[in-house]
Amino acid sequence: MPRRSATSPSISARQQRELAAARSASTLQLLFRAARLLDERAVARVARAPAAAGLRTAHTALFPHIDFAGVRLTELARRVGVTKQAVAQLVDELEAWGAVERIPDPDDGRAKLIRFSKRGHAALLHGLGVLRDLEAELARAIGDRRMAELRRALTAVLAVIDSG
């Protein structure tokens, strides 16, 4: 059996076309792709600030999962869907930057909670400003009406998903 090189596709050209068509037909795939690309742009803009040097998408992926009152490391790992060790490394880096802090868990003196520090709250506000700028750019490109429709649709989708 001939060996495939690392650069040759593992599927045929016809299968690649079918996969591309299926991806394009999936609204959720489009949503995932748009979210990934916007996240990359936002992280790149935020990372331009000297205080955010070294910030990666892996770091910002934690932000929506950190409760303002704090969250345990194991719960954070579960929410993100990665190992406790992977999250611990990212939390260590964010703590070194001063974005998060570890505090005693009031329900269990042996456990720690991870929450945003004052500097972390300021960073979040800055990041949300970057997102507002990106949203404004999109609105200029596709129109205010379409952006409002997108917001209403996503709000409805989230309400359905959140309700279980």
Domain count for the chain: 1
Q: Is residue 2 part of a domain?
A: no
> Is 121 inside any structural domain?
yes
Confidence of residue 7 (pLDDT cuts 50, 70, 90): low
Is 138 part of any domain? yes
Indicate which CATH number applies to the domain containing 140.
Answer: 1.10.10.10
Q: What is the pTM of this model?
A: 0.75
**Is 14 within the bounds of a domain?**
no
For residue 10, tell me if it sits in a domain: no
Domain extent for 51: 27-162
**18 inside domain:** no
Percentage of the chain exceeding pLDDT 70: 95
Inside any domain, residue 45: yes
**34-43, 48-57, 89-98, 103-112: least confidently modelled range:** 48-57
Is 7 domain-assigned? Answer: no
49-57 long-range contacts, Cβ below 8 Å, gap at least 24? Answer: 49/126, 51/97, 51/123, 52/97, 52/123, 54/93, 54/97, 55/97
